[in-house]
Amino acid sequence: MDIELWKNIIIDQKQELNEILNISEIIKRDFPINEIKKSLNYPNIVAILGVRRAGKSTLARFTSKKLKILAINFDDERLISLKAENLNDILIASQQLFGDIEFFLFDEIQNISGWELFVNRLRRTKKVIITGSNANLLSGELSTHLTGRYIHFVLLPFSFKEVLQLKKFDIMNETSRSKLVYSTSGKAKIIKELDEYMIKGGFPEYYKFGKMIVRNIYSNIIEKDIIIRHRIKKINEFKDIARYLIGNFANLFTYTKLKKTFAIQDIHTIKKYIDYLQEAYIIFTIEKFSFKLKTQILSPKKIYAIDNGIIDVISTRITKDRGRLMENLVAIELLRRKLYWNRIDQICYWSDYNNHEIDFVLLKSGKIVQLIQVCEIHDEKNIPDREVDNLLKASSELGCNKILIISWTYEAKKEYKGKIIHFLPLWKWIFNKSNRTNND
């Protein structure tokens, strides 16, 4: 590529990014930003991964805002035919434009085959952040060349707290929090906002451009991050499976049942499709908890969408599935606490042969620390006996007495057969700071 063309691309992208940052509300993410900053005290590579349009580039800029930075977005049509051997021209062009640069930000650099050697060389003297929308960004050549000499983080779309911050909702003001939250009108406002968030989800652009932008994000993930990247030939078949899985969020699935449903001959094709969807961060799955590893591997898995907004653009009857939407939201929040704060190591579900099932079994350092059931409970009258029985059965079998039911509005502490079950409204569970520990 011509050096002058590189200069044009660098200037164009810099102006575009500055315009976006100037007109956008920059939200302080509920994320361990200091960990990223510590990782960049010296020349190093930090990778920020996650689903498309979750705010990875903005987070990277916020982290490095006091540094002299050069940002290149490789999701640019002018860079489609770029080869790895041309990447060094970035350094020449940037040197001529701005002098010495100490910090580089590369968005979606995995679009360029063979990029790993260039970044590996650069990190010896520079600080580098790479962002990507595929979990395989750190596999293969980069992993081989760096042998662990990089730090990586995964960013999810906005949490409920972050959306309220975006909306300048008073709950984020600690001085007025108690008055707002515990008044009747305050709780009603929060529940109304949560009801909306449970449908819209946390993609930042949803709150600027509406539902259509999430539909476009979904389409780009399916087309660019999966179909094109993995050269999928049976495109319609793959799209149908993706829609089916997301439409069946918070439900169990097996590879064999999917194989029969879609009349696919090879079960490995189903496994690959699901792997691709997980690598693109559009879905995630949890396994059944069992003390026997073989049982855990062979049992049905449970599927969740990475954001409720994705469900909204794919499913047709979600308004009648509040309980499942609540469960998906809780699953995302648990994943956030696992990825961001390392408060739990593993998230599972549990069931037995008598169809007792609970939504979440949380583990830390190999030990079960909490059992969680998610139910749309509004008051004591509509507590489902079956859900309580399932929790009590799981508690006895798994040896865990920290039992929680996440409700819609009901809050209480009740004793059943000598065991205490805590009932906590979803909004309160989200905001409860002790939530990041196993002491809910």
Do 95 and 165 lie in one domain? The reply is: no
Do 187 and 142 lie in one domain? The reply is: no
For 53, list phi and psi in degrees, rounded to 5.
65, 30
> What confidence score (pLDDT) does residue 438 get?
38
In a domain, 43, yes or no: yes
In a domain, 269, yes or no: no
Distance from C-alpha of 398 to C-alpha of 350, rounded to nearest angstrom: 10
pLDDT tens track for 388-416: 999 999 999 999 999 999 999 999 999 99
Q: Which residue, 187, 196, 250, is CA-closest to 428?
A: 187
> What confidence score (pLDDT) does residue 143 get?
62
Which helix (H) or strand (E) segment holds residue 347: the answer is strand 346-351
Q: Does residue 67 have a pLDDT over 90?
A: no
Task: Tell me the H-state helices in 201-289.
Answer: 206-209, 211-220, 229-230, 235-247, 255-261, 267-279
Report, as an integer, the average pLDDT of 254-280: 95
pLDDT-derived band at 440 (thresholds 50, 70, 90) equals: very low
Number of domains in the chain: 3
- Could you tell me the CATH number of the domain that includes residue 88? 3.40.50.300
In a domain, 222, yes or no: no
Q: What is the pTM of this model?
A: 0.92
pLDDT-derived band at 348 (thresholds 50, 70, 90) equals: very high
> What confidence score (pLDDT) does residue 179 get?
54
Structural domain boundaries, residue 142: 3-154
Do 120 and 191 lie in one domain? The reply is: no
pLDDT tens track for 287-340: 999 999 898 889 999 999 999 999 999 877 655 589 999 999 999 999 999 999
Do 130 and 89 lie in one domain? The reply is: yes
Provide the mean pLDDT of the chain. Answer: 88
For 404, list phi and psi in degrees, rounded to 5.
-135, 135
> What confidence score (pLDDT) does residue 439 get?
36
